[in-house]
Structure 1
């Protein structure tokens, strides 16, 4: 997962606390899709504001914007479950000496914000295998959305003649009814609603999966052999490293760490903790 990597589409990276990784993700061998409203972006946690409009001649004056807006926002956000990852940034040359700055597991601000200020872990997943696991375990009829997040700053005044993501189309609503409308609106505008963030988030290089689910609870997906690596931070404790390696070793999970030499990140190649030994034997 370090040397001779030239594809930016191969891996996904999930930063997390040591306790979360050990007590849940590695021990239970699954990942959680949490409520969309529990992310750390106000765009996603706050109630969306929609207006009612028409592309035809329907009298939409009978609709109350505030009521319809609250209804659709709750339908879209309330059913969305999300799992977030980082990805590699191109181009990758295959030379790990220079590519380290573009790798998804080497983002200092991600370590600081999501992985206990460099003392947590970054889990490395094979993207194709993870996608297959999510697809195979999602019930028929539930919608899966996946892809990279786009970063764009949009003003508060909407472009009603362009992107109509925050416009409730009364024509469609009356044609299909309230039960079917939220899914159609989501399919039409999912990129704006679920896969756009302000440019300030750009360096996260986020890739996310969103499941439009019928459950009111979190969704858990067994990742199987999709977990291929664990990267430990510069301050991750030896106890965490030992325990995580013991949990991952039976499944062939590669482990390494990041360290810092003056102003530069580097791989902790010389650390004997990462040397392979017979099962269960660690320094």
Structure 2
């Protein structure tokens, strides 16, 4: 059954990647891989700007100013600048509607406008389980791979983890090497650090994979996880032959979005 059939259930998990026509053709589909990009290159200031780090002091323990400055600098480098993420749009099962594709990850007009070049780009559809398997297999050299749906909540602290995620205890600086301390910190607080955004972003319904790597970028293949390419309503028809070749290469569906009185409807592209 086509994943665009209105009778399809959400028992199969898909994730969606909106992108420009050029990136889709010249990079992702031509090279056959997805890129993990730097966390600091997102369009959210909480993620792109340095974090303010506090230190909980312990009586009787003296640490030099240089050591304190080093921990703050390393905190932002290791927990921010070395972080790479892969961002997808998830299905919204709470809004699922068989009649008009409500809740489907490809049916967001604002996402088409913002991330797919004002409906001129494309939306790539991936099998979430297969993509996850590829990520943990091809990036198994990395120590940790974190993943999950983004929680859209206030930036203001709502529990103790929200405070402690941006705090280092002075006594831990004595008992652990800095790298070990920060690795443990990420493991404990990754949800607060990397899977939290303000409610303003909630309509993106984001699912993320998060890794630590000193490389500029990391890549994973798409051969086993790519399920479909959806062309935007404004994607030029002269590219149909290009996507027809990709359809044959990856053995996938290629559809084009239509908006009937504002209702999203993907139909076969050719």
TM-score (norm. length: structure 2): 0.90
Find runs of 4+ consecutive structure 1 residues off by over 3 angstroms.
60-67, 158-162
- Written as runs of structure 1 = structure 2, the 5 A alignment for 1:71-220 is 71-91=74-94, 96-98=98-100, 100-155=101-156, 161-163=160-162, 164-213=164-213, 215-220=214-219
How far the C-alpha of 1:141 sits from its partner, in A, is 4.1
Measure, in 2, the Cα distance between the counterparts of 1:174 and 1:263: 60
Match of 1:33 in 2: 36
Measure, in 1, the Cα distance between the counterparts of 2:62 and 2:118: 51
Q: Which runs of 5 or more residues in structure 2 are unaligned?
A: none
Give aligned pairs, total.
265
- 1:58-84 CA-to-partner distances (Å, cap 9, x unmatched) read 636645655532221111112211110
Measure, in 1, the Cα distance between the counterparts of 2:127 and 2:227: 6
On the 8 A contact 1:126/1:226 being kept in 2, the answer is yes
* Stretch moving more, 100-109 or 62-71: 62-71
1:19 aligns to what SS in structure 2?
Answer: helix
Measure, in 2, the Cα distance between the counterparts of 1:53 and 1:9: 46
Whether 1:42 and 2:48 are equivalent positions in the alignment is: no
How far the C-alpha of 1:217 sits from its partner, in A, is 1.8
C-alpha RMSD of matched pairs (Å): 2.2
Match of 2:73 in 1: 70
On the 8 A contact 1:52/1:60 being kept in 2, the answer is no
Q: Which runs of 5 or more residues in structure 1 are unaligned?
A: 275-283
How far the C-alpha of 1:9 sits from its partner, in A, is 5.8
On the 8 A contact 1:81/1:211 being kept in 2, the answer is yes
On the 8 A contact 1:53/1:170 being kept in 2, the answer is yes
TM-score (norm. length: structure 1): 0.86
CA spacing shift, 1:216–1:80, aligned 2, 3 Å: same
On the 8 A contact 2:61/2:171 being kept in 1, the answer is no
